[in-house]
Amino acid sequence: VRKFPAVLLASALLAGGHASWAESLAIFGATIIDGTGAAPLKDGVLVIEDGRIIAVGKRGIRVPANHRRLEAAGKYVIPGLMDANVHLFLDFFPLTLARFEDRVDEIVIEASQIALKNGLTTVFDSWGPRADLVKARDAIRAGTSVGSRIYLAGNIIGFGGPYTASFFPSASEALFEGFVDRINARWQENVGPELLWMPPDEVRRQLGKYLETGVDFLKYGATGHGGLEHYIAFSPRVQRIFVEEAHAAGITAQSHTSSVEGLDLAVEAGVDILQHCDETGNDHPIPAETIGKIVERRIPCSLLANTDKALAWFAEQAENSPAYKRFITRDINDRALIAAGAEILLSTDAGLFGADTVGSAFWASIVPPEDNLLLLGEGHFTWLRAVEEKGMQPMDILMAATRNIARAYGVDRDLGTLEVGKFADLLILDANPLVSADNYRTISLVMKEGQIVERDALPTQRLLSQDPSR
């Protein structure tokens, strides 16, 4: 019996980060943690054909003869990880967008490869430039590019583009208006802040058009952004339109909220996912009543969970600048939601950033040193440790990063667990993730739809990313 990965690399991988075809193979001997919440299966066998799992069981189950055998004794097989909230293109600062205005889709691919390399076989991009994301998603789907599987929402409905009051308005003064308008339009399309002025019928009309542009799910800004986190953006009846229209289009709807009342309104609107429901400002944690509704109605809740280390840094900054207090409140919310048994989703807000951005004083002012939820490829590991620190159970943590997300987004027919019939999206880890969340970092192999990912070859092109370790 040969050991991998040496042989694997020699036999099965092609240039470009991916095996060129989905092998028929079987993984032998590993402990299989299938993501359903069932007890780990020791010395298991997992059989893969045409990209899907065709059998899983104790050693001894029938494996077709033509299947290559992958010996993985002592290792752990888990479903491919997911991130319920990334922004593959997030470095929207003027330097980066001026440089790469015409190559944003390539940066999306680059980002998705860094995600994949680090075990995220599927990511949900909940804010970004729609057309570029669609182009990258489709290239990956078609197999012409390697990368994490992308589901995308495009704009957060009601938000302005990068160079508006919603995000980084000071850019507008230094850049020419032609560029500023182009960039903002690329995000906003027809679902920007002007929707806040509209009566329900007109919102429905604009939304209808947007839903035809290839988005995979809908996200709306129930509250404001860029200093307006305490304002509500849409009336309850308009929020219900978002949910209705998404469902009518066969996709899920989620909210962006940033205050206790904003959260409660989104709950009442019937969203499928409460994105970062732990974000309620500096001073007021989620009231018990709202937590009760979330738990009772089983509305999946993504958390932006910070580690204790990061929280200590935020607390230190908060002494001079109250803005950092919201992270403290976030922690209170995270612990309360976990304790109450809410359906938790892994969510990082992570993206890729260029060297000028990461080296700036601006960055240093918002990102805790040595701890970074925001960095794609790193953020999800940070998150897994953070929720462990907050008392979440190991098996719940695994499901928060796999099955829960697949269910919440309605893609659990194919994704989220290691059950027969599902895509063979999986990781082989050297150490048991149920013993310590840090063990998610011990990735030995990433497989997506039955193909083994050539991790060392990713990203295939570095336009933005600098860190060779990711």
Burial readout 103-142 (b: 16 or more C-beta within 10 A, e: otherwise): ebbbbbbbbbbbbbbbbbbbbbbbbbbbebbbbbbebbee
CB of 117 to a second copy, least distance (A): 27
Stretch that binds a second copy, among 32-40, 232-240, 392-400, 407-415 (CB under 8 A): 232-240
Q: Are 127 and 159 in contact (CB under 8 A)?
A: yes
Q: CA Rg, the chain, in Å?
A: 22
Task: Please pick, from the candidates 230, 240, 309, 441, the single residue that binds a second copy as defined by CB under 8 A.
Answer: 230
Tokens of 69: 């055998």
Task: Please pick, from the candidates 104, 111, 114, 260, the single residue that binds a second copy as defined by CB under 8 A.
Answer: 260
465 binds a second copy (CB under 8 A): no
Nearer CB in complex with a second copy: 37/292: 292
Nearer CB in complex with a second copy: 37/236: 236
Separation of alpha carbons 92 and 87, rounded Å: 11
261 binds a second copy (CB under 8 A): yes
319 binds a second copy (CB under 8 A): no
Separation of alpha carbons 292 and 342, rounded Å: 9
CB of 265 to a second copy, least distance (A): 6
Secondary structure element (H or E) that encloses residue 88, with its range:
strand 81-89
Task: Please pick, from the candidates 160, 161, 224, 459, the single residue that binds a second copy as defined by CB under 8 A.
Answer: 224
Q: Are 249 and 283 in contact (CB under 8 A)?
A: no
461 binds a second copy (CB under 8 A): no
Secondary structure element (H or E) that encloses residue 381, with its range:
helix 379-389
CB of 296 to a second copy, least distance (A): 18
Separation of alpha carbons 462 and 309, rounded Å: 30
171 binds a second copy (CB under 8 A): yes
Task: Please pick, from the candidates 30, 82, 246, 265, the single residue that binds a second copy as defined by CB under 8 A.
Answer: 265
106 binds a second copy (CB under 8 A): no
Separation of alpha carbons 252 and 271, rounded Å: 8
Strands 344-346, 68-71: pairing is: unpaired
Nearer CB in complex with a second copy: 212/319: 319
165 binds a second copy (CB under 8 A): yes
22 binds a second copy (CB under 8 A): no
Nearer CB in complex with a second copy: 8/222: 222
- Other beta carbons within 10 angstroms of residue 362's beta carbon come to 12
212 binds a second copy (CB under 8 A): no
* Binding positions for a second copy, rule: CB under 8 A: 93-95, 98-99, 101, 165, 168, 170-179, 193-194, 196-202, 224, 227-228, 230-238, 259-262, 264-265, 280-284, 287, 290, 355-357, 359-362
